[in-house]
Chains A and B, each alone.
Chain A
Amino acid sequence: MKCSICKEKAVIELNYLKKAFCKEHFIDSFEERVKKHVEKNKLVDKNDKIVVGVSGGKDSLTMLYLLNKWYPGQVSALTVDEGIKNYREHTIKIVEKFVKEWGINYKKLSFKEGIGFSLDEICKKLEGIPCSYCGVFRRYLLNKGAREMKATKIAIGHNLDDEAQSIMMNLFQHGLQRFVRMGPLSGVVDNEKFIRRIKPLREITEKETRAYFFIKKFPHDIWECPYMQFAFRHNIRKMLNDYEKDNSGTKANIVKSYDSFIKKFKKTKYNIVFCEKCKEPTSSNICRACIIKEEFYERTRNKGKTKN
């Protein structure tokens, strides 16, 4: 197979774009498409202070690398340590090495300090799916931490695969509240307590970030989150990839369909309210984080049945 641009030997084929690239032109095309997405959707303003949520995975590190390259002096990194034993301590080391190497300002927050208990502790007490607790508190701490770092935007490493998965997950579960909040720039209302979230990699497939990471020789994480087996996302990903294999462009089309739909829908304005307990921005009277916290402490007080 030949590169669509220079006719040299290709190293990657992108069926959904009907293109193949050599190493050099793949890197160019990848960066160009991310940049175009950022500019087209006006994700970054010259006065923005961007905090990049970094997990140590390929997506967040690639995004951190690119934003720092394009907007030097405007970018910092923020990591949330959920307290997942035999997993997070390894990926945090990758992050710390990476930010040091590129001279990026960095901060770490933990569930234990910021919420009061680790994800491992929550999962011993409560029966819900680990990822749903994790998501709630991670968003909560990212917003809070970014605000303390005086950020005007939070950058999240969601790629096209993640986005297609989230759309399908919300459809499958009738999660319409969450459904309407997705998109390249989320947070419908400007509010000083709620930092808007941007997704620079939203039009790039997961396969491409992996290839970019490999070609750039960035340090890939080999650790797998022990809670992954519980993730509903895991099944949706498998389903979409099985389908995409014989129908290139399906994932991209899901995201495109969503975008066309939401463009019309979002002309309606929403109000943000604040949690009665912790005063963080939310969409209901008491935020999800405080509800789960209450459940957790209730269990602790009652010494209720502990899950194994």
Chain B
Amino acid sequence: MEILIQGKKRKVKNSVLSEIMNEINVNPEEFLVVRDNELITSDTKINNGDSLELLSIVSGG
């Protein structure tokens, strides 16, 4: 299916957030995920066309 990550279209094979994170090589220790302005947990089912925002956990310094 196709989803939006940081506004960019991306094809993914999986549909559970933790699996998608693994697939796109993003460590959940370093990013939180927001959908529709809400934080979501790793077991969340992601649907075709969903828009995800990755919040970097690390501060600028």
- Which residues of A come within 8 Å of B, CB atoms? 1, 10-13, 20, 23, 55, 57-59, 87, 91, 206-207, 210-211, 214-215, 221-225, 227-228, 231, 237, 241-242, 244-245
Contacts and interface: CB of A to CB of B under 8 A. Distances in A.
A59 B34 CA distance: 20
B57 A210 contact: yes
B40 A11 contact: yes
SS class of chain B's interface: helix, strand, loop or mixed?
loop
B61 A228 contact: yes
Interface of B: 27-30, 32, 34, 38-44, 55-61
Contacts of A215: 39
A241 B39 contact: no
A1 B43 contact: yes
A210 B58 CA distance: 8
10 contacts: A1-B44, A10-B41, A11-B41, A12-B39, A20-B41, A23-B39, A87-B61, A214-B34, A214-B39, A241-B29
A241 B43 CA distance: 20
Contacts of B56: 210
A224 B60 contact: yes
Given A207-B32, A210-B57, A241-B30, 14 more contacts: A1-B43, A11-B40, A13-B42, A20-B41, A87-B61, A206-B57, A210-B32, A214-B34, A215-B39, A221-B60, A227-B61, A241-B29, A244-B29, A245-B27
Contact of A210 (B27, B42, B55, B60): B55
A6 B60 CA distance: 35
Contacts of A244: 29
A244 B28 CA distance: 10
Contacts of B38: 11
A163 B44 CA distance: 31
B32 A211 contact: yes
Contacts of B27: 241-242, 245
Contact of B29 (A23, A207, A214, A231): A207
A12 B30 contact: no
B6 to A, nearest CB: 13
Nearest to A241: B29
Contacts of A59: 59
A227 B60 CA distance: 10
B38 to A, nearest CB: 6
B59 A245 contact: no
A225 B58 CA distance: 11
In the A-B complex, the 6 residue pairs with the closest CB atoms: A225-B61, A57-B59, A241-B29, A11-B39, A1-B41, A224-B60
Contacts of B58: 206, 237
A137 B35 CA distance: 41
A140 to B, nearest CB: 18
- The residue in A11, A225, A237 that gathers the most chain B C-beta atoms within 10 A of its C-beta is A11
B41 A12 contact: yes
Contacts of B43: 1
Contacts of A231: 61
Taking each of B38, B43, B56, B61, which has the highest tally of chain A beta carbons within 10 Å of its own beta carbon? B61
A13 B44 CA distance: 12
